[in-house]
Amino acid sequence: MARGQGASLDKKKLLADPILVTTIVLLITFLTLFILYPLAILLVDSFVGDGGFSFSVFKRVFKMPKFTTAITNTLKVGFVVGIIATAVGLLFAYVEVYVRIGKFAGGLFKVVSMLPVVSPPFVLSLSMIMLFGKAGIITRYLLNIYDNSVYGFWGIAIVQSLTFFPVCYMMFRGLLKNIDPSLEEAARDMGASRMKVFTSVTLPLLLPGIGNAFLVTFIESIADFANPMIIGGSYDTLATTIYLQITGAYDKAGAAAMAVVLLCITLAMFIVQKYVLEAKSTATLTGKASRGRMLIEDKSVRIPLTVLCSLGAMFVILMYICVPIGALFPTWGYKFFPLTLKWFKLVFTRYKGFKAFGDSFRLSLIAAPITALLSMIISYLVVKRKFKAKGFIEAVSMLAMAVPGTVLGVGYIRGFSGGLFHTGILQGLYGTGLILVIVFVIRSLPTGTRSGIAALRQIDKSIEESAYDMGADSFKVFTSVTLPLIKDSFLSGLVTAFVRSITAISAIILLVTPQYLLITVQINEFAEKGSYGLACAFATILIIITYGAVLLMNLFIKHFGTSKKITEVE
């Protein structure tokens, strides 16, 4: 009875707040229209033909040799990348948390963890081609190897592993820090070797986290479009095959069916990762360590691990540095000196660089605050309010994380090119900058929402209840109490959304029109043509923009953020 009375009271409070009700209705409409609807249209296109419900499109697609090859290639790459990235990420995290490393190695680790955040997703593909391709500096000019090919399976696998392992490294670092060192020290006191302690104590505690990291990497790998497109060569993956099915074969129904297959794979993995392994991981590692960990100082362990990880980190950094250096060479593979700025000049004089950077910057700048604000609103509703549609809002907002960009792009084409349900309603949205902004928002929403939920769970509800008791409505409480308390999370979400938007390609390459020039599309186009100097010039300027945005955010939070005010009070 008490539970029923509480629910009834929550309902009355909700209905008595028109601003909150309006916000919930608008949010549900937005999420349904721009996440669920495009995916539903894909299903309709795949299963409903001229004669009604049918599997004919799927039968036709599964008979295509290129589709069966693509799905086999995709799963193969996903498993290999998942294993390599998880193993390398675990090694880096273990060395940082358990081994006493110097400031130099620690600095390298920090740089490596940050580089994938501020760079476009295909930078390493360019570097791999320029270093190890047929005209590569290392293979051709240092090793005199002329018959190698960096394109294909191993090219994709290595590039994706180097791109995604920092994600695993960050995940494992948090998990390892939360393991109570007394558990491992007890095993050491009983005579167990370090390897025995790792395999019998540390590793079992990490198993759910290992599975979680593997599935996250697997999902990212099979959903990746840019790297297979640039370095894949004739080794087609499902994401690139879907793109070519639309742009080359003009088979939208077939592309929709392929997109549904890819979506089913990523959704299945996402459900296992989110609701099975993530729950086990948080249940296994309960809170912070009770005391400090005694770091490994044995030279026989410390020196080899530190050197190995430092060399690996320097190699990754070299790969990223290769891009700006490549933009200064006169002709890649034939003439490296004297260095020149001609590619940067051509970017802005012949290839409409000002328009490309202007369009990308403007659209990303519009999408970033919208994403950050929506993320905080969703987080606030999920954590602080009670209503029936709360689970729906949380699930759908997180669903975008499991939807590959190429799949979302196909869904928007099928869903909005002819208007809603082919009625012409909202047809004017297709081909405009607004639809690109919406895609940017949808793609960045899950990251901001997770950050907001984590921040809001640390705020005592009594603070907001005091404001309600003084007569403030939900809008006033959110803007004057809640938002200032999670300012750091909001600013972080703002910059993250900007960086993710300006470096996005897979979701927007199918939606961008000649009216808009986007940097990532230009980089992809020049890389496909073999114009690596121009591609590197575009990529270098993009990296400077994104890195500058992150630095500005860190400075702003340091001097004006919540943590600064708390420090001053103390």
Question: What is the per-residue pLDDT for 280?
Answer: 61
Which residues, 6 or more positions from 188, have their beta carbon under 8 angstroms from its beta carbon?
194, 197
How buried is 360 (Cβ within 10 angstroms: 0-12 exposed, 13-18 middle, 19+ buried)? buried
Distance CA 229, CA 249 (A): 17
Of 37 and 199, more confident? 37
Q: Determine the Cα–Cα distance for residues 182 and 185; give it in Å rounded to an integer.
A: 5
Query: Averaging pLDDT over each range in 91-100, 170-179, 258-267, 436-445, which range is the top one?
Result: 436-445
How many CA within 13 A on the CB side of residue 158?
19
Of the candidates 502, 364, 560, 378, which has an alpha carbon nearest to the alpha carbon of residue 451?
A: 378
* 288-302, 303-317, 502-516: the lowest-pLDDT one: 288-302
Assess whether the previous peptide bond of 228 is cis (omega < 30° from 0): no
Q: Which two tokens stand for residue 151?
A: 């394109």
Dist CA 5 CA 11 (whole Å):
10
Phi and psi based region of residue 560 (left: phi greater than 0; alpha: psi -120 to 50; beta: remaining): alpha
Considering only 267-281, 375-389, 507-521, which range has the smallest mean pLDDT? 267-281
User: What's the token pair of residue 153?
Assistant: 């399976």
What letter represents residue 57's amino acid? V
**Model confidence over 150-191: pLDDT tens digits?**
889 999 999 999 988 888 888 888 788 877 787 777 877 787
pLDDT confidence band for 569 (50 / 70 / 90):
very low
pTM, two decimal places: 0.84
CA pair distance 560, 308, nearest whole angstrom: 39
| Residue 287 DSSP symbol | S
- How far apart are alpha carbons 411 and 256 in whole angstroms? 7
What per-residue confidence (pLDDT) applies to 562?
A: 55
Q: What's the mean pLDDT when you consider all of the chain?
A: 82
Tell me the pLDDT tens digit for each residue of 217-237: 998 899 889 899 889 888 989
Closest among 77, 80, 123, 81 to 232, alpha carbons compared: 77
**pLDDT at position 149:** 76
The answer to whether the Cα torsion of 77, 79, 85, 88 is positive or negative is negative
Q: Which amino acid is at 550?
A: V
Q: Please name the residue that has the structure tokens 């196909």.
A: 410
| pLDDT per position as a tens digit, 49-66 | 655 677 788 888 888 888
Smallest CA-to-CA distance from 175 within 92, 282, 294 is with 282
Summarised one tens digit per residue, pLDDT across range 107-131 is: 888 888 777 777 777 788 888 888 8
The CATH topology of domain 1-50+334-565 is MetI-like fold (1.10.3720)
Q: Nearest 5°: CA angle at 449, between 212 and 370?
A: 140
Lowest average pLDDT, out of 2-11, 118-127, 392-401, goes to 2-11
Report CA 106 to chain centroid distance, whole Å.
24
d(CA 157, CA 28): 39
| CB-based contact 220:506 (threshold 8 Å) | no
What percent of the chain is modeled with pLDDT above 70? 88
Q: How far is CA 22 from CA 27, 369, 456, in A?
A: 8, 20, 22
Identify the CA nearest to 226 among candidates 453, 475, 535. 535
Max mean pLDDT range (194-203, 290-299, 371-380)? 371-380
Looking at residue 278, its pLDDT comes to 64
Q: Answer with the residue of higher pLDDT: 401 or 356.
A: 356
Q: How far apart are CA 179 and CA 294, in angstroms?
A: 13
Residues 6+ apart with CB under 8 A from 90: 168, 169, 172, 206, 210, 213
Q: 541-558, pLDDT tens digit by residue?
A: 988 888 888 788 777 766
| CA-based R_g, the chain, Å | 25
Give residue 77's pLDDT band: very low, low, confident or very high (50, 70, 90): very high
Q: What is the pLDDT of residue 228?
A: 92
Q: Tell me, rounded to whole angstroms, the distance of Cα 504 from its chain centroid.
A: 10
Question: Hey, what CATH topology would domain 55-326 get?
Answer: MetI-like fold (1.10.3720)
Q: What distance in Å separates the CA atoms of residue 452 and residue 494, rounded to the nearest whole number?
A: 11
Q: What is the pLDDT of residue 237?
A: 92
- Going by pLDDT thresholds of 50, 70 and 90, the confidence category of residue 350 is confident
Contact (CB, 8 A) for 516 and 363: yes
Of 107, 109, 414, the residue nearest 263 (C-alpha): 414
Residue 278 CA from chain centroid, whole number: 17
Helix (H) or strand (E) holding 48: strand 48-49
DSSP 333: T
Q: Which residue has the higher pLDDT, 515 or 457?
A: 515
- For the cut 50, the answer to whether the pLDDT of residue 36 exceeds it is yes
Output the CA–CA distances (angstroms, integers) from residue 380 to 82, 390, 455, 465, in the order listed: 34, 10, 10, 14
> 61, 67 in Cβ contact below 8 A?
yes
Cα separation, 178 vs 38, whole angstroms:
40
Contact assessment for residue 222 and residue 404, using Cβ atoms and an 8 Å cutoff? yes
- Sequence ranges of the chain with CATH classification 1.10.3720.10: 1-50+334-565, 55-326
